[in-house]
Amino acid sequence: MFLVRLARNLIELGTSRVTFLIEWYWENENLYDPNQETLQALRGTNIELILGVPNGDLQSLATASTANDWVQNNIGAFSPAVEFRYIAVGNEIKPTDAATQYVLPAVNNIYNALVSAKLDGQIKDSTSADTTLLGNSYPPSAGSFSAKNAEGANMEIVVSETGWPSAGEAAATVDNASTYYRNLINYVNDGTPKKPGKPIETYLFTMFDENQKGPYETERHFGLFYPNKQLNYIDDTKNINIGFALFTTPGIVVQDGSSGCQNLFDATLDSFYFATEKVGLPIWRLLCQGLVGHQLVA
């Protein structure tokens, strides 16, 4: 089973670029905002979506009636012609952010709205967390972060963004980006040392270079394609062994008890697995974002 997908900020995608997705046989996408034009263009394409809830909407969605309206307007109005896979309620909200207090109520309200619409069996909701949420991740079995409730041991993790920049810093080159993506695609079906043999549902970030992103130059160069749709192909990595990040080390780099990690992708994911077992999360699935070298917390 091939589990690498394509993540892309599709806010201004429109019909022509949806056609472009179909021409390139993309089957799963990450849409960060319920843009109505894009959702209309995706009707009947069989492209499955992670649909994002913008952080600015979380406070209003902490009210049940607003969440019901959101689901009706952005999901119910397009389903089943548009195939929704997950709803990511908020993006990379940190414990110190003002919006943190609204994440769990919004997740619960969106879930209840899906139940009311009889869509909960086919669409799951969660929130997207980046790797800075980990208070510790070295070695992976020490992975921890602050959360409440239980049953984290059975949580499934989806990597909703991972990528490598092709320009902007010394290690950000087309060759390194190509190596990262090629090895990632060949690797994700094998699982991690903690969960061997369990395929990792993974989304590549991102479809196009985005010249208005920042503040770091590397943030503009994660695209598999240039904005003119020409194939590009494919952050601060100074504290990470480049082979460890690119899946090219020949042996174990991080020894962790009786097991060990040969690459950064494994080490980061297993840190999340261990952290969820220790404290659990009151959500069905965790959508991990930003699995690139500089975000490993050691």
Q: So which residues are the catalytic ones?
A: 92, 161
Of 96, 13, 97, 108, the residue nearest 56 (C-alpha) = 97
d(CA 2, CA 201): 9
| Burial of 174: CB neighbours in 10 Å, binned 0-12, 13-18, 19+ | middle
Cis peptide before 250 (omega within 30 of 0): no
Whether 288 contacts 281, CB under 8 Å: no
Whether 21 contacts 47, CB under 8 Å: yes
d(CA 94, CA 205): 20
d(CA 236, CA 92): 19
Question: What six digits make up the tokens of 214?
Answer: 């920042």
